[in-house]
Amino acid sequence: MTTRINKPKVFLSHSWENKQFIEKIAADLRRCGIDYWLDKEEIRDGRPWLKMIFEDGIPTCDAVIVYLTEQSIRSQMVQKELDAAVVQQLSEGGVTLLPYVSEADIRKQLRSDIQTLQCRELNDRNYESILPTVVAEIWRSYVERTIETAVLQEKNRRLEQELDNKRLKEQYESSVFSAREEQEFKYLHEQLSKKIDVTFTLFTKKGGQKESVKVGEDVCRVSILKVVLAAIEDGKVYFDGRFVGYQFLKVLGETLSVDGENVTRGRMGGTIDRHVASELRTQLNTFGLTIVTKSQYSDRLETVYEFSEKMYRFKYWIEYNVLLEDEPLEHVVTLSRPESTVNQEQLEYDRATAQALKADKRISETRRKKTWSSNGEGTLAATKAVQTLFDDLKKRVAASNKVVQNMKLDFHADINSCSVVANGVALTMKWNCPSNKITDCCIRAEVNILSAEPLPETSTQQVFLQHFVPRTDNELQVFWHDKGGSRGSPYSLLEIADLCWRNFFSAVQRNEEENN
C-alpha cells in the first residue's frame, strides 16, 4: 500500500450501470486534490475482488461514498459494502460514510439504519451545487481522521517513553553501578582473569640443621586479578610487580606439604618475571586502574603506579557481584635431589667437571657472540625485536582507544619507524641500523609537542629524547642500554615501551593544561 501525504482518499461504491456518473465524480475529486479508490482502476487482473475491496480498499480511505440508485441497491457488492458490520467497522476506524441517493424515492427502499443517516440527492440536476459540499465533507473527514491519528500516535509515543523510563529507573535502582560501568567492568574482569606464574623457592629444616636448606621451587599459576587484589588487601596503594609475589604469599600461606613433608615457601622468593610484571603494569595503567605519579625513595624521586579510584570502584563491583569465589590453586612443585645421598668424592669430581664444562661453554659463547654480533645475525635479531616493540605500541593504542573518551590515538608504522599521535603530541621511534655490526644500531625515541604554526623552525617542541643501543648476552638474547644514560641495568622491550608511553602521556596532559 502506498503511503499518502497530506491528501485525502475516498472509496467510491456504486453499480456498474452508474459508472459514467461515478467517473465524472472521480475526475472532479481528482481536480480538488482528492485521491479515489475505484474498482476498475485499483483491482488488477486475477486479483480477488472481496479481498482487494475490504482489505486494501475501504480501510485505506478517509471516507466512503455510496451512490444509491435503483441499480445499486440491488447490487450484491454494494449491499456487502453497506453491511451493518462493515458500517460499524468504518465508524470505529474513523472512516466517514457518505451515502447519496439519485432520487428521493430511493430512501424508502433502504435499510432502517441507513435511513437514519443524512442521504442527500445527487444527480445531474443538482450536481454543480452539491459537489462542493461533497468535497468539503471529504476534506473534513480527512482532517478529523488525521488529527485523531496524530493524537493516538502521540499517546502511544508517550506511553512507550513512560515504559522506557520505568525500565531505566528499575534498571538503575536495581544496581549501584551505571550501565557504562557494568559494561566496562565486565570487560576488565574478562581481561584480568588471565593467569600468570608466581615462583616461590622452597626451604626445609632437617635434623639438627640450624639454617633452612633450599629443596626446590613452587610455580603457582594465578589470575592477574588475584595478584592485584592481593596487593590491595595487604594495604598497598601502589602496584609494584617486584613485590606482588610477597603479598600473594599471605594468600597462599607459607607452608605446604610435599610427599608427607612440610616445606616452607621463601618470603624473599615470591617473584613475577620482570617482563610479565612490566606488561601487567602497562595494562593496568592503560585501563585506568593505576595512575603514574612520583614517590620519594631515600634521596630520589621514583615513578610509581598508584591505584586509582576506578580500581577501588572495580574491586567493589567484583565483591558486589560475588566474583571472588576461591578457585583451585594450580601449581607445580619441583624438588632438588639432596646432596647427602651422593658419594662425596664423586661429588667433588662432578663439581670439577662441571666447572671445566662451564668454562668451555663460556669460551664457545664468547666466540659465537663475537661472530653473531658482526655478521648480520645480531642486527637481524635486533630488527625483529624492534618490530615487536612497534607491535606492542600498536596494541597499546588499540586497547586505549576502547576506553578513552577525550582523545583519539593515531598509530602509523613502517619498517624502520612508528609514531603515536594524540591531542597535538607525537611519540616517534626510529630504528637506524647502517651496518652488520649490532653495536652500530640504535633506537631513537622522542616525544614532541606539535605546533599549530606551519613554520619549520617552530613546528615542534621536543620534551623527551632517548637513544637505546642493542647488546647481546652469551645466550645471544638482545637487550638494550640507554646510550649515554646513567642506568646500569639493561632495558627490556616492554620497559622501553613503558618509558616512552609514560613520557608521551605526561606531555599530552601538560600540553592540554597549558593550552587551557
pLDDT at 391: 93
Question: What is the tens place of the pLDDT at every residue in 362-398?
Answer: 787 778 878 888 888 888 889 998 999 999 999 999 9
Cα 343 to Cα 336, 348, 356, 427, 515: the distances in Å are 16, 9, 20, 61, 76
Both 357 and 329 in one domain: the answer is no
Both 30 and 121 in one domain: the answer is yes
**Quick count: other Cβ atoms within 10 Å of Cβ 213?**
13
CA 281 to chain centre: 22
Q: Which of 366, 494, 382 is nearest to 440 (CA)?
A: 382
Both 275 and 298 in one domain: the answer is yes
pLDDT at 42: 46
Both 328 and 448 in one domain: the answer is no
**How many residues can be counted in the chain?**
516
Q: Which residues contact 72 (CB under 8 A, 6 or more apart)?
A: 13, 14, 15, 17, 18, 66, 78
H/E stretch holding 496: helix 493-515
**Quick count: other Cβ atoms within 10 Å of Cβ 189?**
16
pLDDT at 297: 63
Contacts 24+ apart (CB under 8 A), 471-479: 471/438, 471/439, 472/369, 472/372, 472/373, 472/378, 472/381, 472/438, 473/369, 474/362, 474/365, 474/366, 474/369, 475/365, 476/368, 476/369, 476/372, 476/378, 476/381, 478/378, 478/381, 478/382, 478/385, 478/438
Sheet hosting strand 425-432, strand order edge to edge: 410-413, 417-422, 425-432, 442-450, 460-472, 478-482
Output the nine-digit C-alpha cell for 247. 603479598
The radius of gyration of the chain's CA atoms, rounded to the nearest angstrom, is 44
CA atoms within 13 A of residue 428's CA, in its CB half-sphere: 15
Listed as ranges, residues in the chain with pLDDT below 50 are 1-3, 42-49, 339-342, 455-458
For residue 164, being part of any structural domain is answered with no
For residue 166, being part of any structural domain is answered with no
CA distance 500 to 79: 88
Domain boundary among 290, 313, 336: 336
pLDDT at 453: 57
Domain of residue 51: give its range: 9-155
Q: Which of 119, 120, 148, 131 is nearest to 34 (CA)?
A: 131
Strand partners, 217: 201, 334
Both 56 and 85 in one domain: the answer is yes
pLDDT at 53: 65
- 396 contacts 427 by C-beta, under 8 angstroms: no
Both 329 and 350 in one domain: the answer is no
For residue 511, being part of any structural domain is answered with yes
Cα 83 to Cα 26, 73, 297, 440, 511: the distances in Å are 23, 12, 97, 100, 80
Q: Which of 385, 403, 397 is nearest to 492 (CA)?
A: 385
pLDDT at 442: 94
Both 83 and 40 in one domain: the answer is yes
Both 311 and 363 in one domain: the answer is no
Both 114 and 224 in one domain: the answer is no
CA 167 to chain centre: 23
Residue type, 64: V
pLDDT at 210: 59
For residue 173, being part of any structural domain is answered with no
Output the nine-digit C-alpha cell for 232. 590491595
For residue 170, being part of any structural domain is answered with no
Output the nine-digit C-alpha cell for 395. 596494541
Question: What is the tens place of the pLDDT at every residue in 281-336?
Answer: 888 888 899 988 877 665 667 778 888 999 999 988 888 888 876 667 788 887 77
Both 130 and 216 in one domain: the answer is no
Domain boundary among 315, 336, 357: 336
CA distance 477 to 369: 10
What is the C-alpha end-to-end distance of the chain, expressed in Å? 58
Give the CA diameter of the chain: 140
pLDDT at 104: 83
Both 326 and 360 in one domain: the answer is no
Torsion of CA 72, 73, 74, 78, to 10 degrees: 70
For residue 329, being part of any structural domain is answered with yes
Q: How many domains does the chain have?
A: 4
Domain boundary among 320, 350, 372: 372
For residue 413, being part of any structural domain is answered with yes
For residue 77, being part of any structural domain is answered with yes
